[in-house]
Amino acid sequence: MSAVTADVHQPNSLGRKRFEAALQQLSGALPPPFIAPHPLANEEAYASALRDAWLAHPSLHPSGTGVGSERATRKQQQIESIVTLAALLADDFAAPRIVDFGGGSGALSLALAALLPRGAVTIIDVKKKSLAMAVERARAAGLANVATYDGDIFDFDSPFDVGVALHACGEASDLALLKCHAAGARFVVCPCCVGKVAVAGSERATRKRNNTTFNLTGENACRVAYPRSAAVAAVVGADAYGALAAAADFNEASQVEGPRGALRRLSKSWLEHDRLLAAREGGQCVTLTRLHPPSASPKNHVLFGWPAAAPPPPEVVRRLAAVADAADDADAALAQALGLGCAVCEADDGEAAASRVTMDDALAASEWTADELADCAARLAAFAADEAAGDELSVPAHSARLRRLVHYAAERAGLLHWSEPKVAGARRTVRVARPD
């Protein structure tokens, strides 16, 4: 048998992408993301009141904008999820000052204004056309408690009580959280487009413009530091974080299905967990939940909270704390199923254990198709079972991706494996042998 070269792959490095390695690092160093159920089911009174407000102002309902019924339903669910929390957090203010960061044409803020006529709602956006639409929609609905701010979130400095943001892109969600922190305000933020964040010092930041910053300033400035928390920054660097952000940037439900999708979903949860940890390090009480129902959007994480030194009334804290105590173990269970070291204190029977997706399987599925995996495994199994096939098998693999596949399958089959050195004009191969 030929001597094994330095190109032999080790089991813990097979098929690993940068974001997958980052997931493993984070899961080995920190407790897993804690996702609480959304309190909408417990706060139906607010949802009912919002529906009544929409009946009084039908033009404010998402269906009034001319979108299809399915999209309108999802948008309604998104708005109800944010408004329910914002209304609860604003309940003790006689005249709450609410700011909608990146509010566009007012889908969220006008619903809040209709539900809380005693409050004042300010919409912030850089798009003048969208703000003009919001003003016209508010006028048509007879809402006198809506104002607009034409400019960058970064420059807004007026006092307010509650900040909201629904799918503010990239760093806009982080700027909203920072503004809420600086103002001592309560907040409800549903981040979006995490792939747009510009991680200073990363390879990705040099290739990708932060469009909002560039359009406003002519410079590709990184105004927000990533990772957001000291805890996550101690585990992963700029490039690893940028890889996580790219993996977590999905728009369709189909993109988070199956083993590959599970890894992308978990990447998004870790990014939002990073935001949560940063807020807590800054002295805020914060909970991570999802839109209700989660199918309202693939980008369904929601952060809500308040300054720890200035909490809402005890009754509001109690109602929200009760929700936070009832953790949704979906992500923790997923991490456990992927073998990422997160403890889920649940008994497991043999059948459930046998059906669990392993980390290696998930990583494999993120690079190779099921047919590729099955074909390669079958070929190696046939070789291992046939003594007459000789001591070694040469497997053609013209690309690095396919060579990794052969190494992966051989490792899983308990076979020795090594790459043949590159020879000019010849196809690369992987050699496989039975163990001694």
What pLDDT was estimated at residue 387? 82
Predicted local distance difference test score (pLDDT) of residue 364 = 63
Provide the CB-side half-sphere exposure for 106 (13 A, CA). 33
Rounded to 5, what percent of the chain is helix, strand, coil? 50, 15, 35
* pLDDT category of residue 365 using cuts at 50, 70 and 90: low
pLDDT tens digits for range 280-310: 999 999 999 999 888 899 999 999 999 999 9
Q: What is the CA radius of gyration of the chain?
A: 26
pLDDT of residue 70: 82
Rounded to whole angstroms, the Cα distance separating 60 from 198 reads: 34
Say if strands 186-192 and 162-169 run parallel, antiparallel, or are unpaired: parallel
Give the residue-averaged pLDDT of 190-217.
61
Residue 352 confidence (pLDDT): 34
Please, are residues 409 and 373 in contact by the beta-carbon 8 Å criterion?
Answer: yes
pLDDT (0 to 100) of residue 43: 67
The architecture in CATH of the region 18-337 reads: 3-Layer(aba) Sandwich (3.40)
**326-338: pLDDT as tens digits:** 555 555 555 555 5
Q: Which pLDDT value is given to residue 16?
A: 65
Lowest mean pLDDT among 75-89, 179-193, 257-271: 257-271
pLDDT for res 402: 87
pLDDT of residue 419: 86
Annotated domain spans of the chain? 11-16+367-433, 18-337
Whether 110 contacts 56, CB under 8 Å: no
Domains 11-16+367-433 and 18-337 share a fold: no
Least confident of 3-17, 62-76, 143-157, 380-394: 3-17
- Looking at domain 11-16+367-433, its CATH class is alpha beta
Question: How many other C-beta atoms can be found within 10 angstroms of the C-beta atom of residue 118?
Answer: 10
% of the chain surpassing 70 pLDDT: 77
Q: What was the pLDDT predicted at 357?
A: 43
Name the residue with higher pLDDT: 74 or 426: 74
Q: Return the minimum-mean-pLDDT range out of 35-39, 54-58, 157-161, 331-335.
A: 331-335
- The residue that leads in pLDDT, 63 or 399, is 399
What average pLDDT does range 185-190 have in this prediction? 98
State the pLDDT at residue 188.
Answer: 98
- Give pLDDT, residue 300: 93
d(CA 361, CA 10): 15
Which residue blocks in 116-195 are alpha helix, DSSP H?
Answer: 128-140, 171-183
**Per-residue confidence (pLDDT) for residue 343, from 0 to 100:** 33
pLDDT in tens, 1-14: 333 333 343 434 45
d(CA 166, CA 189): 6
CA dihedral 140, 116, 153, 215 (to 10 degrees): -30
Q: Work out the mean pLDDT of the chain and round it to a whole number.
A: 81
If residue 121 lies in a helix (H) or strand (E), which one and from where to where? Answer: strand 120-125
